[in-house]
Amino acid sequence: MAKVMIVDNVAPEAAQILEQEGHEVRTEAGKLDTPDLIAACAGCQGLIVRSATKVTAEFMAARPELSVVGRAGVGVDNIDIDAASEHGILVVNAPTGNTIAAAEHTLALMFALARHIPQAMDTLCQGRWERKRFLGVELAGKTLGVLGLGRVGSAVAQRAEALGMRVLAYDPYISPEQVAVPNIKLTSFNDVVRQADFITLHLPLTDETRGIISKQALAQMKPGVRLINAARGALVDEAALADALKSGQVAGAALDVFAEEPCTNSPLLGLDNVVMTPHLGASTKEAQVHVAVEVAKQVADALAGRRPKHCLNWERALQQGAAVGM
Q: What is the predicted pLDDT for the residue at 105?
A: 98
63-74 pLDDT, tens per residue? Answer: 999 999 999 998
Within 10 A of 104 (CB to CB), how many other CB atoms are there? Answer: 17
Identify the active-site residue in 128, 261, 306, 307.
Answer: 261
Mean pLDDT confidence for 7-36: 96
Delimit the domains of the chain by residue range: 3-97+285-319, 99-276
Give the separation between CA 279 and CA 170, rounded to whole angstroms.
Answer: 24
Whether the per-residue pLDDT at 62 is higher than 80: the answer is yes
Whether the per-residue pLDDT at 46 is higher than 70: the answer is yes
Whether residue 232 lies in the annotated active site: yes
Domains 3-97+285-319 and 99-276 share a fold: yes
Whether residue 202 lies in the annotated active site: no
Whether the per-residue pLDDT at 60 is higher than 70: the answer is yes
Q: What is the predicted pLDDT for the residue at 326?
A: 40
Q: Which among 102, 189, 227 has a CA at the least distance from the CA of 154?
A: 102
Whether residue 105 lies in the annotated active site: no
- The CATH homologous superfamily for domain 3-97+285-319 is NAD(P)-binding Rossmann-like Domain (3.40.50.720)
Mean pLDDT of the chain: 95
Q: CB of 61 within 8 A of CB of 87? A: yes
Share of the chain above pLDDT 70, in %: 98
Identify the active-site residue in 87, 159, 279, 290.
Answer: 279
269-301 pLDDT, tens per residue? Answer: 999 999 999 999 999 999 999 999 999 999 999
Share of the chain above pLDDT 90, in %: 89
Whether the per-residue pLDDT at 166 is higher than 60: the answer is yes
Whether the per-residue pLDDT at 180 is higher than 90: the answer is no
Q: Which among 299, 297, 283 has a CA at the least distance from the CA of 98?
A: 283
Q: What is the predicted pLDDT for the residue at 84?
A: 96
Identify the active-site residue in 232, 290, 294, 310.
Answer: 232
Whether the per-residue pLDDT at 41 is higher than 60: the answer is yes
For domain 99-276, which architecture applies? 3-Layer(aba) Sandwich (3.40)
Dihedral sign (CA 35, 41, 45, 48): negative
